[in-house]
Structures are given as structure tokens and as C-alpha cells.
């Protein structure tokens, strides 16, 4: 334990492909008390792994066996040793200083802490009008079909107790991974609380996200999962954790 302020160990999963320039900024925001950082390398062609190891000698590296953010996260989750898993991005858009709020939300009774840019105290420097509109439409559809009260469906800053991995039963490769997690957490009856989060713009490089293509994959996931089980009344609320 690294002077851990919580009675739980924490693993941080960072999927990365060619993010060497961004990792110094990302790792600088990580709390000293987290127990492990797992970098899932998507077969980078730059110095991503070397830079990451130089920044954090205790880093664990998982080399991705397939492609896509979803697959990278799943492989990172499988390698995690902590009681709690936190997933952040390697492009600098998610602030590691917010990890305390996510972990506190879990320790205080939640099963799944879901980041939201639309919850009071949240925000984004990066959302374009078309992405924001698409996210709101997909969020509304999910709430209608699954009885949830989400404010932000398509956001990748989340945390959960590792013991719930079996309930989530994740099995997708792409950016729709966040949607799949949110839907299956609701279907499993997990206690879900939203945590305000401020998304920053990518620092260096270009995003691999494509609004139309990935929006279509999210929509297909929402509709497909509706056929797997009935909607439940998810215990979702906005948690203004500090």
C-alpha cells in the first residue's frame, strides 16, 4: 500500500497507442497512493512503452493481442490486481487528480462510479456540437430502454469494484466499450453513481474516434443489449464527491 487513504487497493488502466508525447502529462496527474498502473500498449510504433517505464518504474505493461480500445481495456482489466479498477485515457483528456472522487464514491457504497461531463461540476473542453448532440440522443435512448438516469453515456472515465467484472462480462473491441459497461452495469442491478468530471482536450496527436462510425457502433450496442435482458431500475444518482 502507498499511504493509501482508502481501505481498498486501486489499479489504474491506461490503454495507449503512440501516446509517448502525452504520457508525461497523464502520469503527472496520477495520485501517489494508487497501488498499480497498467499500461495496455496497442503495439505502438513510437516510444510509448519506454517513456511510460521511465516515468513510473513500477509500471506493469500489457501488450495488446488484438485491436481497439475495448479490447485494450478488457485485457487491462484481466491483469488488474487491485480491489478497484479505474480507467483513464492516455491522451491527456482525463485528469488523474479526479481519481480520488471516483474511489471515494465506490468506498461510500457505489458498485460503479460513472464519470459525467454533464453532471454539476463537470464539463468538457473537447466535445464538438455534433458529438454532444449524438451523445445526448444516445443517452436519452439508453435511459428510455433501460430505466437509467444517465447524463453522459459516451465517456470513458469510469471506476468499479473488480469483483463486478463477471457481472459486466465485457466482450467488445471498440469505443462502444463504455456504453456496454454502462448498460450491463444497469442490467446487473449494480449501484451506479455519476461523478462530475471535466474533460480536457487531447494534448498531442490525433484522436482515433470517428463520430459517425463509432456512434453507429454505440447505437447497435444499445439495441442489441436490450434483447439480452429486461430493463431494470438502476440506482443511479449524481454523486458530488470531493
Average pLDDT over residues 116-143: 91
SS3 letters across 105-123: HHHCCCCEEEEECCCCCCE
Q: What share of the chain is helix, strand, coil (3-state, %, to 5)?
A: 35, 20, 45
Q: pTM (2 decimals)?
A: 0.90
Query: What is the tens place of the pLDDT at every residue in 142-183?
Result: 999 999 999 999 899 999 999 999 999 999 988 899 999 999
> What was the pLDDT predicted at 211?
56
Query: What is the tens place of the pLDDT at every residue in 19-29?
Result: 999 999 999 99
* Confidence band of 236 (pLDDT split at 50, 70, 90): low
Cell digits of residue 154? 459516451
Query: What is the tens place of the pLDDT at every residue in 59-104?
Result: 999 999 998 999 999 999 999 999 999 999 999 999 999 999 999 9
Inter-helix orientation angle 177-187/211-226, to 10°? 20
The Cα 80–Cα 78 span in angstroms is: 6
Amino acid at each position: 500500500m502507498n499511504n493509501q487513504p482508502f481501505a481498498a487497493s486501486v489499479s489504474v488502466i491506461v490503454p495507449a497507442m503512440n501516446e509517448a508525447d502525452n504520457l508525461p502529462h497523464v502520469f503527472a496527474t496520477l495520485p501517489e497512493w494508487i497501488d498499480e498502473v497498467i499500461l495496455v500498449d496497442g503495439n505502438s510504433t513510437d516510444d510509448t512503452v519506454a517513456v511510460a517505464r521511465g516515468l513510473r518504474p513500477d509500471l506493469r505493461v500489457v501488450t495488446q493481442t488484438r485491436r481497439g480500445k475495448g479490447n485494450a481495456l478488457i485485457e487491462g482489466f484481466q491483469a488488474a490486481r487491485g480491489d478497484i479498477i479505474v480507467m483513464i485515457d492516455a491522451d491527456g483528456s482525463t485528469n488523474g487528480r479526479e481519481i480520488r472522487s471516483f474511489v471515494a464514491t465506490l468506498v461510500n457504497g457505489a458498485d460503479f462510479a460513472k464519470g459525467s461531463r454533464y453532471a454539476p461540476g463537470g464539463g468538457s473542453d473537447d466535445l464538438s456540437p455534433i458529438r454532444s448532440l449524438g451523445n445526448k440522443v444516445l443517452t436519452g435512448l439508453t435511459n428510455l430502454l433501460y430505466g437509467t438516469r444517465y447524463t453522459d453515456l459516451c465517456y470513458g472515465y469510469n471506476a468499479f469494484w473488480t469483483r463486478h467484472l463477471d457481472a459486466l462480462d465485457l466482450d467488445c473491441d471498440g469505443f462502444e466499450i463504455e456504453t456496454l459497461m454502462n448498460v450491463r452495469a444497469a442490467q446487473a442491478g449494480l449501484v451506479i453513481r455519476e461523478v462530475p468530471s471535466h474533460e480536457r482536450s487531447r494534448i498531442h496527436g490525433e484522436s482515433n474516434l470517428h463520430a459517425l462510425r463509432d456512434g453507429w457502433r454505440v447505437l447497435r450496442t444499445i439495441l442489441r443489449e436490450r434483447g439480452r435482458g429486461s430493463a431494470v431500475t438502476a440506482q443511479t444518482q449524481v454523486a458530488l464527491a470531493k
